[in-house]
Structure 1
Amino acid sequence: MRALDAAQVRRWAVACVQSLDAHREAIDRINVYPVADGDTGTNLLHTMRAALDALLRAPARARSEAGAALAELARGALAGARGNSGVIASQLLRGFADALAGSTELGGAELRSALDAAAARAEAALSHPVPGTMISVVQGAAEAARSADSDELGDVAGAAATGAAAALERTPRQLAVLAEAGVVDAGGRGVAVLLDALVAVVAEQPAALVAAARARELPAPELSMYTAREAGSDQFAYEVMYLLSEVAGNGVDPVGRLRDALVGLGDCVSVVGDGAGLWTVHVHCNDVGAAIEAGIETGRPRNIRVARFADAPSAEASRFVRDRAVVVLVRGTELGDLLVGEGVTVVPVEGEEPAFRLLEAITATGASHVSVLPADAGLTETADEASIRAVAAGQDVVVVPCASPVQVLAAVAVHDPRRRAGDDVVAMAEAAAATRRGEVVVAAEDGITWIGACSAGDVLGFADGEVVLIEPGPAGVDALDRAACGVAERMLGVGGELVTVLLGASASDELADELTDYLRREHPETEVVVYHGGQPDAVVILGVE
């Protein structure tokens, strides 16, 4: 991919949420600085969910310009920021938005500028930046991007992710508390996850699958959850956060005055704005009332959150009643019936708003992790749209790439709820990708194909999406049989052990018998299974594994 447009920016936001969800627990476990409260991964996830939600609710301009989409992400992240890490993540997005203001696309050169701006914004967010934190990782990514030999987006993104990983590995040498715990910086690990997600989107790979396949288990800290905090900050018992608006100048710098007042009360102070009059305030202190009063003297505080560090982190109440579910979006009632028998949730494509009905089905599963399988390539966009909405609402949803019902059947066949969710998704994706697909359809009109002209009523044979043969019409049993046998022969020419035949709504029993007889006679080494799929378009769909 040479550049990210607004739609791809949205895909990156979804990928960030999915990847952070996959890494949340591991990041929480290594969270020892500035406070060992085990919530950095959770805070980053909540912050990015708020960013995605803001983008999904954004006006039309954010759907056409990458810069506008990034601005909405930054605004949502700032308003929903959790903890120090969430504030810095919001500034990372703000830096991207600043660099892309008014731009319709994000290319390699723009990404360099965006990372430089993000590094500057992230450092300016804190009153006392410390080396060895997520700010160092953002800076490492920016420096590596500047040093990339190419201006291609993929090369710059890859260099940034590599630079972030290298900077992350250096954090224990920069911050003693990390070295003592034997871990890297938790916030820095979150930055690396966000950039890994960007690389996956640029490479046009399913980011959730990449995250699951490449997830590295991080070592747990070998010290108490309530380890002493650096720079004497163990004297501060509370974290205070709020949003601030209607800031009045009165001839002075009100934000600077607020920041100075908070520095006098505690540490880990950040006061950052979205450029449109909204500020997020964060401080660790003992005098909660004074921290809030300082905000009242500056503007109008709202969404005030106070956490006491001595309180053990409580598990968030779950709205989910089970761990795993598989949802399939299909055309054809009989295929749906076949899949229901395999224990999956089936959503038939009927009428209007299939994305909304798919979203309803995903939510109704009550599962914390849902794998969505579109039964043909034309349903992928619908599956993506529904999954984006579900992810923004807090569900972990992954669309497994499938271009045919036979690939869905292969994926469902290897589904195993006893595996880890990430491993199961990878296994289904690999099974689908390993299944070659063929189709026999009747041409609806005259046209030109890669192998020549066809007329309405001719029979077309497809292998992996390409026309490989044309049988002159009319489309009787003999022409359909020749086409189906020809497609099967071409597909089995490179080997295969199992042939799956899905009969369409217009396929006759005679055609099914002729095709299976041919396969068993000419390829006795292969196993043949035949199902009635009921698909309205293809007369026959073939899968070879």
Structure 2
Amino acid sequence: MPQTLPQALDSAVVRSWCSLALEALGREREEIDAINVYPVADGDTGTNLYLTVESASQAVEAVFAAITAPDFADTVRAMAHGALIGARGNSGTILSQLLRGMSEVLAEGRDADHLARALRRASVSAREAVAHPVEGTILSVAAAAASAAAGRADVAGGSDATGGSDVTGGSDVAAVARAAYAGARAALEATPAQLAVLERAGVVDAGGRGLVTVLGALVEAVSGEAPARTPRAPRATVLPSAEPCSEAGPAFEVIYLLEADDAAVARLRDRLDGLGDSLVVVGGDGLWNVHVHVDDAGAAVEAGVEAGRPYRIRITHFGTEAAPEERAGRAVVAVLPGEGLAHLCAEAGATTVLARPGEPPASGELVEAIRRAHAREVVLLPNDAALRHTAAAAAEQARAEGIRVALVPTRAAVQGIAALAVHEPDRRFDEDVVAMTAAAGATRYGELALAERQSFTSAGVCQAGDVLGLIDGDVAVIGHDVATIAETVLDRMLSAGGELVTLVLADDAPDGLAGRLETHVRETHLAVDTVIYSGGPQAPLLLIGVE
């Protein structure tokens, strides 16, 4: 019986694709890491691809959070931009360029023909981004996927050429996606014959393997059916971590985002090509992601400074990690929503990650912070309920690197402050984690925010510009005066008792608000102390903690 499948993509499909790809890479990350032998056997290709797609998925989710029914072109551009700013490693950087190439074509049309052309643009743009393309890599797999998709899009009518059930309309998007997936799988199996290092190890290319996973997620997103997976068994056990980097190979991987014009980037490519290898520069429209392997990491960064403004600079040494005995005993890593709080917690000894408005940190940033803490034991404070899964993924990856990580599920910055206040690195790890968890759990949290648009809340309908008083994450009060709403929230939170009130105010909070609230607590709630901190610029308007 013919089955009618989608004839055009939409924003919901793109969202589903990102989610399914992230889920699939999460399942297969370790398997992909294990076969990573090229260009450097550092065992992180699966992880880098996961972090890249995670950033793309977060960008798409942000579009849906802002607009109920986002425009398709805006959605695909958000996906590409998210991948660009979150790209990790050689394969992740190339994948971000593949998604960018696809977005350029899909923004112009959503049918099967545009999907096939998008895959072609993706393959060409990714190959152009690599200074010295090598066959038998993710580039070969991408080219084969594009070729197969183009052939399927040219078919008019007939049965599904990939062997599935009959399909109404031979050139629908599902058939093109299936053809691309089948072509990619076939090309992946051929990679060992194209690249000697893969043949010796008895594995397929790890980056290509990840791309097949991403294309499989696309098939599932457009058809509702996940393609059958038949993993290729390696002829030998591959342990990349046991294979030290060649003495002749570069010592560092350098990655950074760069704001620069096209002419400056062209000069940068030439400069970095002379400094190292595995050079990939992706992006456009003034924003680029630069990836290179070099011996002189400083020179690679300086080249970026000469070209424009580099930021989010990440430098990874390919050598052996420091021995456990060289690490500190214990550290705390905390995510904070303002520079003032970040400075406060840093003074208390924590390694901090700044969460800017609308830019929640990805799990990769949390992993980098855990590494930066350089400790055998780490307590991770996400300080945001929305970061629960991100923090869990970061903790899992750090544990795989031999670091003992405990995740205290703090849902607000004031809970993190309470946990950090009772932290004692000299006591047993488990006891310290229990004490910090108990302190966080005993702290109720509130927040004042301004409504961005009309919406329904648990306290009724709010209008754009209204002051919202939240308690434990739910809207409890709606009004117009910041001080009045803050006092109401404080009274409700203290109605169940409390000994200490913590107030964190943003730089743009109304003048005199801190003093008014401190006086209100002193005069209305006897024997309750108040401490006040500055959240700094871009912090939430007011954070409240009651212990």
The TM-score normalised by the length of structure 1 is 0.53
Give, in angstroms, the shift of residue 110 of structure 1. Answer: 1.4
2:97 counterpart residue number: 91
> Please, which of 192, 199, 219 is the counterpart of residue 199 of structure 1?
219
Cα distance change, pair 94–63 in 1 and its aligned pair in 2 (3 A): farther
Do the aligned partners of 1:79 and 1:280 also contact (CA within 8 Å) in 2?
A: yes
Does residue 37 of structure 1 match 2:38? no
Query: AA paired with 1:192?
Result: V
Aligned CA-pair RMSD: 3.0
Name the residue aligned to 2:150. 146
Aligned position for 1:263: 273
* Map of 1:56 onto structure 2: 61
8 A contact 1:171–1:185 mirrored in 2: yes
Correspondence for 1:111: 115
Of residues 173, 176, 190, the one that matches 2:193 is: 173
CA distance in 2, matches of 1:313, 1:168: 35
Give the one of 293, 300, 303 matched to 1:284: 293
Paired position in structure 2 for 1:216: 231
Letter in 1 for 2:130: L
Question: Contact 1:68 / 1:102 at 8 angstroms: preserved in 2?
Answer: no
Distance 1:238 1:63 in 2: 44
Question: How big is the shift at 1:11?
Answer: 0.4
| Residue pair 1:243, 1:303 contacting (<8 A) in 2 also | yes
Decide whether the 8 Å contact of 2:126 with 2:139 is kept in 1: yes
Q: Distance in 1 between matches of 2:16 and 2:52?
A: 16
Q: CA deviation at 1:389?
A: 8.9
State the match for 1:8 in structure 2: 13
Give the partner amino acid of 2:30.
Answer: E
SS of equivalent to 1:58: helix
1:20 partnered with 2:25: yes
Matched, 1:159 2:179: yes
Provide the C-alpha distance between the structure 2 equivalents of 1:167 and 1:107, rounded to a whole number of angstroms: 25
**Cα 1:196/1:394, change in 2 over 3 Å:** farther
- Give the superposition deviation at 1:283: 0.7
Of 131, 135, 141, which aligns to 2:135? 131
1:423-502 map, 5 Å: none
Q: Secondary structure at the match of 2:63?
A: coil
Identity %: 47
Could you say which residue in structure 2 is the equivalent of 1:296? 305
C-alpha contact (below 8 Å) 1:74/1:90 kept by paired residues = yes
Residue 146 of structure 1 and its aligned partner are, at CA, apart by 1.2
Whether contact under 8 Å (1:49, 1:394) holds in the other structure is no
Seen in structure 2, the aligned counterparts of structure 1 residues 163 and 389 have a Cα distance that, compared at 3 Å, is: farther
Deviation at 1:214, TM superposition (A): 3.5
1:235 aligned partner, one-letter code: G
Letter paired with 1:68: D
- 8 Å Cα contact 1:183/1:221 also seen in 2: no
- Out of 174, 187, 190, the residue aligned to residue 210 of structure 2 is 190
Per the TM alignment, residue 157 of structure 1 is displaced from its structure 2 partner at its CA by 0.8
1:62-119 per-residue CA deviation (whole Å, 9 max, x = no partner) reads: 943333211111101110110011111101110111001244xx32111101100110
CA 1:38 to 1:7, structure 2 compared with 1: closer, same or farther past 3 Å?
A: same
Task: Give secondary structure in 1 for the equivalent of 2:210.
Answer: helix
CA distance in 1, matches of 2:34, 2:322: 12
**Residue 242 (structure 1) aligns with:** 256
3-state SS of 1:151 partner: coil
Write the letter of the residue equivalent to 1:108: A
Letter in 1 for 2:58: D
Contact 1:48–1:77 (8 Å) recurs in 2: yes
- Kept in 2: contact 1:127–1:269 (CA 8 A): yes
Higher mean displacement: 303-312 or 165-174: 303-312
| TM-score (normalizing by structure 2) | 0.53
SS at match of 1:272: strand
Question: Alignment partner of 1:57: what SS?
Answer: helix
Distance (whole Å) between structure 2 residues aligned to residue 21 and residue 56 of structure 1: 18
CA distance 1:120–1:271, shift in 2 (3 Å): same
279 and 25 in structure 1: CA distance in 2 versus 1, 3 angstrom threshold: same
Instruction: Compute the displacement of 1:227 (Å).
Output: 4.3
Give the match for residue 333 of structure 1: none
Quote how far apart the aligned CAs of 1:395 are. 5.9
Contact 2:37 2:240 in 1 (8 A): no
